[in-house]
Amino acid sequence: MEKPNNMLELFQANLDAEYEVTRAFVHYAFIEYGDTLHIHFQHSQGVADWVANFMFLKRPYSHMQVPWRAHGGFLFCWEQVKPIIAAKLAEKDWKEIITVGYSHGAALAVLCHEYIWFRCEHLRDNIRGYGFGCPRVIGRFRIPKKLRCRWSNFTVIRNESDLVTHVPFKLKRFTHVKKPLRLGRRRLWGKINAHRPESYMENLIRFHNLKVYTKQENPDVNNDESDLLEF
């Protein structure tokens, strides 16, 4: 299997992955590329996932020197799969770890990325995460500076005005770990349809083609979005 080289290929890999399921119906997949590990989390697949999505009650994240709260439903799901992730991390000396999720899975990717960052200090420069259509996970109005560095290499991707990326709403004092990278400006689908996988795919293709064209025309171009696309 060929290793994904950009966000478009990562999103496609997330849709195509063969997922394992925990007893609590958390869908996850490991894909290995030599000493590189990709951890994927799937979008909502059933009633249990949707129940978790609407468990907005904030819960404290345990065993942290800097205490913080997270979306209760997502935290519950993450705690079910965390021992499996821990066992996989211990299997070998990984050189690079990338966490990917879409929708419900993106929220789990946020928590997984932080877990790996916190416990694999030697790998922090080679840990990245991507949350496509990611809801807000952190139960604070603003993330303290002491915590922000944990998600410095995590990218939240929002397609146009995707409604899911706006919930839970800020009025409930939830926030994203990073300012979302927005795909598309023309609002072709509306808030609901913008969350569909085919909508993300279409704008990711446009984004990818734009960045490839820009780099070909201006090989010395240096901007944040081009850095996010190619890795």
| CATH code (residue 208) | 3.40.50.1820
Residue 231: is its pLDDT beyond 50?
A: no
Q: 168: cis peptide before it, omega within 30°?
A: yes
In a domain, 104, yes or no: yes
Mean pLDDT of all residues in 53-68: 53
| Residue 190 vs residues 5, 8, 31, 184: alpha-carbon distances, Å | 29, 21, 33, 12
* Token pair of 169 as six digits: 């709403």
CA 32 to chain centre: 18
Q: Give pTM, 2 decimals.
A: 0.83
Is a pLDDT exceeding 70 seen at residue 112? yes
Q: What is the mean pLDDT of residues 94-116?
A: 96
| Residue 43 included in any domain | yes
Element spanning 118, H or E: helix 104-119
Stronger pLDDT, 76 or 212, i.e. the higher one: 76
108, part of any domain? yes
Q: Is 204 exposed, middle or buried (0-12, 13-18, 19+ CB in 10 A)?
A: buried
Task: Tell me what pLDDT residue 219 has.
Answer: 40
Task: State residue 42 phi and psi, 5-degree precision.
Answer: -85, 155
147-179 burial, b if ≥16 CB within 10 A, otherwise e?
A: beebbebbbbbbbbbbebbbbbeeeeebbbbbe
What is the extent of the structural domain holding 129? 7-229
User: Is residue 42 pLDDT above 90, yes or no?
Assistant: yes
pLDDT digits (tens, 9 = 90+) for 67-80: 667 777 888 889 99
Residue 220 has pLDDT above 70, yes or no: no
Overall average pLDDT of the 160-175 stretch = 83
Band of pLDDT at residue 2, cut at 50, 70 and 90: confident
The answer to whether 221 touches 210, Cβ cutoff 8 Å, is no
In a domain, 103, yes or no: yes
Mean pLDDT, the chain, whole residue set: 81
∠223-130-60 over CA atoms, to 5°? 120
Question: Is 1 inside a domain boundary?
Answer: no
Residue 2 counted as domain residue: no
Q: Note whether 211 and 181 are within 8 A (CB).
A: no
For the chain, the domain total comes to 1
For residue 191, tell me if it sits in a domain. Answer: yes
What confidence score (pLDDT) does residue 63 get?
Answer: 55
Residues 126-162 have pLDDT tens digits of: 999 999 999 999 876 678 788 888 999 999 999 999 9
